Amino acid sequence: MAKILEAKEIYDILKERLKTRLKSLPALTLASLSIGKNYSSQVYRASQKKLAESLGVKYLSLELPQDISIKAALAKIKSLNNNKKITGIVANKPFPSTFTEEIVFSAIDYKKDIEGMNPYNLGLLFIGEPLFISPTVLSILEFIKMSGIELYGRQVTIVGFSTLIGKPLALILGRKLATVTITHIGTYESGKLPFYIKNSDIVVSAVGKPHIIKGDWIKKGAVVIDVGIGQFNGKVVGDIEFEKAKRKAAFITPVPGGVGKLTSLFLFRNLIDAYKKYA
């Protein structure tokens, strides 16, 4: 039976560290931008706002209409870039189909890009000298650290090929000499996903499709990190069949109460770093 890696084990410690750092700084402001309504985005923004209030950080929540033009959305981002009171900017996915990630993230000033998604910041990550790393990736790395597993030579399967999670995480884990496989919709639809999961020492799933990873696919003794969030039978659940998976895994994160809860903390750590570097 797996040990459940819950965020509450270290949440208060990490939060107190943030409070200590913030005491010596002026009030910082986080601008959090969404385009249209989405359940997972709303959950994330709610946690951002609650944490900002408890830390004494000003939180500017902006929800642009679903049918806003690209030109108007980019103009809004530009205004946030030019606002000296704004310390950091977050653009919450998903975006409408008329937008691309590249358009939105390229518009954010790299100095305020606390999710590390501007092409400039991604390029620095690629060469191993990142200014900002995605808070979700930092949270995943923290949970891997909590498990105590040695990354060197381990087989890692990442489910999801996003620029926010899958790609940067693969680069970082590869740099630590883990053997990394990135899987995606093509892997799933070809029926090959179970093969990769069953042979993995570490599984990280960041798809947002409830229970897409079956519990009996998990290798005995694996570390399972569930980043997905969705609804199943009226409950918030992750990508992985938790009850079945925990019978085989050595360590597993829950949803909710796992990666997402620490992600907000690392977002604010990046916010502090943005002020320290560029204010």
Residues 252-273: pLDDT tens digits?
999 999 998 999 999 999 999 9
Nearest to 207 by CA among 40, 32, 15: 40
Please state whether beta strands 29-35 and 58-64 pair in parallel, antiparallel, or not at all (unpaired). parallel
CA atoms of 163 and 134, how far apart (whole Å): 9
Based on the fold, state whether residues 84 and 140 are members of the same structural domain. Answer: no
Does some domain include residue 3?
A: no
Average pLDDT for residues 10-21, to the nearest whole number?
96
Based on the fold, state whether residues 254 and 150 are members of the same structural domain. Answer: yes
Number of domains in the chain: 2
Q: What is the pLDDT of residue 40?
A: 66
Based on the fold, state whether residues 34 and 108 are members of the same structural domain. Answer: yes
Nearest to 135 by CA among 106, 115, 158: 115
CATH number of the domain at 194, please: 3.40.50.720
Does some domain include residue 122?
A: no
Does some domain include residue 181?
A: yes
Contact of 210 with 240, CB cutoff 8 Å: no
CA atoms of 276 and 79, how far apart (whole Å): 22
pLDDT above 70: percentage of residues in the chain: 99
- Residue 244 belongs to domain spanning: 135-260
For residue 123, the number of C-alpha atoms closer than 13 Å in the C-beta half-sphere is 5
Two tokens, residue 23: 């005491």
Q: What is the pTM of this model?
A: 0.93
Q: Which amino acid is at 205?
A: S
* pLDDT 10s digits, 188-227: 999 999 999 999 999 999 999 999 999 999 999 999 999 9
Does some domain include residue 6?
A: no
* pLDDT 10s digits, 21-59: 999 999 999 999 999 877 767 877 888 999 999 999 999
